[in-house]
């Protein structure tokens, strides 16, 4: 969400859907034609290696995109499919690519929430989750997935989803970051699917790694990833400060906080903004800084805790 201009966002991404672009030697990318306020110009799938390759994030349930991916690797062998996380714009096309290639599917695991649902949340449906997805091989943090001429290390990066992985091509100092870090916008962190506590820890984690070139699930590559991540961390800290600033004026519900904090937001994103605020509140309640009656939920009213 582009509510703050403190982060050096980059929305310059002229790649057209279905066009194969070799963005670095051994890294090709193809854009799926699924643009939206959440996906920017669409989901970017990556092909890693040459001859015997891995596909990272086959994308949404989209026959045209699957055909474009398969056309891009015509004459080559797809040995691995890697999935960063189980949102519907990333994992459903895995089934098509696996059926066509016989490649093994590597991911952290099936979709799961970051925490159990509270009673009042039991009725809400999570439209973004791909609940049908199952990896062939469940990948743990730090494991190295080796192919022909490439090796990718799984980097657990929970927060956007509980099962989010980034994949590090360590020799090349490249990191495929999925939706954990995006150059065009901040990532959505929406409880109970996502967790701000986990997300912040996963951002911190990347600042200590040596990879500097990031490839995201949406939008352009990020040339100095760790520096960009430090901007994101400061941005979230500023967001937390604005929430506390608003609550210092008196108790408030989430829509009131969104109106106070997200000036000029795209109206289609106010729902997501509310969940981002909830993610911060959940964290603040856990730390004893903010109080609410009952569980921290989207419909709750929040106030500063009496210290
Ligand atoms: Zn995505």
Residue 154 pairs in a beta bridge with 167
Cα-to-centroid distance, 251 and ligand 1 (Å): 34
CB contact burial 151-190 (16+ within 10 A = b; e otherwise): bbbbbbbbbbbbbbbbbbbeebebbbbbbbbbbbbbbbbb
pLDDT(267) > 90: no
Cα-to-centroid distance, 75 and ligand 1 (Å): 29
Cα-to-centroid distance, 43 and ligand 1 (Å): 6
Q: DSSP E strands: which ranges in the chain?
A: 21-24, 27-31, 44-48, 52-56, 77-82, 104-107, 137-138, 144-146, 151-156, 165-169, 174-178, 213-216, 252-253, 290-292, 301-304
pLDDT(46) > 90: yes
User: What pLDDT is stored for residue 306 in this prediction?
Assistant: 83
pLDDT(294) > 80: yes
Rounded distance between C-alpha atoms, residue 156 and residue 204, angstroms: 12
User: What pLDDT is stored for residue 5 in this prediction?
Assistant: 52
User: What pLDDT is stored for residue 1 in this prediction?
Assistant: 43
Rounded distance between C-alpha atoms, residue 302 and residue 281, angstroms: 8
Cα-to-centroid distance, 60 and ligand 1 (Å): 9
Cα-to-centroid distance, 181 and ligand 1 (Å): 10
Cα-to-centroid distance, 306 and ligand 1 (Å): 39
3-class state of residue 253 by DSSP: strand
Cα-to-centroid distance, 290 and ligand 1 (Å): 30
Q: Tally DSSP H helices, then E strands, for the chain.
A: 6, 15
pLDDT(167) > 50: yes
Residues in the chain: 307
DSSP 244: H
Q: What is the pTM of this model?
A: 0.94
Cα-to-centroid distance, 173 and ligand 1 (Å): 23
Cα-to-centroid distance, 214 and ligand 1 (Å): 15
List pLDDT tens digits, range 50-98: 999 999 999 999 999 999 999 999 999 999 999 999 999 999 999 999 9
Cα-to-centroid distance, 245 and ligand 1 (Å): 31
* pLDDT band for position 122 (cuts 50, 70, 90): low
Rounded distance between C-alpha atoms, residue 192 and residue 282, angstroms: 10
User: What pLDDT is stored for residue 129 in this prediction?
Assistant: 94
Do 37 and 44 contact (CB within 8 A), yes or no? no
* pLDDT band for position 307 (cuts 50, 70, 90): low
Rounded distance between C-alpha atoms, residue 256 and residue 51, angstroms: 54
Rounded distance between C-alpha atoms, residue 186 and residue 199, angstroms: 12
Do 145 and 98 contact (CB within 8 A), yes or no? no
Cα-to-centroid distance, 90 and ligand 1 (Å): 6
Residue 73 pairs in a beta bridge with none
Ion ligand 1 neighbours, Cβ < 5 Å: 89, 179, 217
Edge-first strand listing for the sheet containing 77-82:
21-24, 27-31, 44-48, 52-56, 77-82, 104-107, 137-138
What mean pLDDT is reported for the chain? Answer: 94
User: What pLDDT is stored for residue 123 in this prediction?
Assistant: 58
Cα-to-centroid distance, 303 and ligand 1 (Å): 33
Cα-to-centroid distance, 49 and ligand 1 (Å): 23
């Amino acid at each position: 969400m582009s509510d703050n201009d403190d982060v050096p966002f980059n929305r310059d991404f002229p790649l057209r859907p279905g066009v194969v672009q070799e963005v670095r030697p051994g890294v090709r990318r193809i854009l799926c034609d699924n643009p939206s306020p959440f996906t920017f110009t669409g989901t970017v799938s990556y092909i890693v290696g040459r001859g015997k390759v891995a596909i990272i994030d086959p994308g949404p349930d989209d026959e045209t995109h699957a055909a474009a991916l398969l056309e891009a690797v015509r004459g080559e062998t797809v040995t691995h499919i890697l999935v960063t996380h189980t949102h519907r714009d990333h994992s459903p096309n895995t089934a098509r690519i696996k059926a066509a290639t016989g490649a093994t599917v590597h991911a952290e695991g099936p979709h799961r929430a970051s925490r159990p649902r509270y009673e009042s949340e039991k009725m809400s449906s999570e439209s973004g989750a791909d609940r049908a997805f199952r990896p062939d091989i469940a990948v743990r943090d730090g494991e190295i997935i080796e192919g022909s001429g490439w090796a990718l290390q799984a980097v657990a990066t929970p927060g956007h989803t509980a099962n989010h992985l980034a994949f590090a091509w360590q020799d090349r100092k490249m990191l495929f970051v999925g939706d954990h870090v995006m150059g065009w916008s901040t990532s959505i962190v929406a409880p109970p699917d996502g967790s701000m506590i986990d997300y912040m820890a996963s951002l911190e984690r990347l600042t200590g790694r040596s990879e500097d070139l990031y490839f995201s699930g949406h939008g352009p590559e990020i040339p100095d990833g760790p520096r960009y991540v430090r901007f994101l961390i400061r941005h979230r800290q500023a967001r937390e400060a604005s929430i506390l600033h608003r609550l210092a004026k008196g108790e408030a519900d989430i829509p009131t906080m969104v109106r106070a904090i997200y000036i000029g937001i795209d109206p289609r994103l106010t729902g997501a903004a509310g969940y981002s605020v909830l993610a911060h509140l959940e964290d603040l309640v856990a730390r004893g800084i903010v109080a609410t009656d009952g569980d921290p939920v989207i419909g709750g009213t929040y106030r500063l805790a009496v210290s």
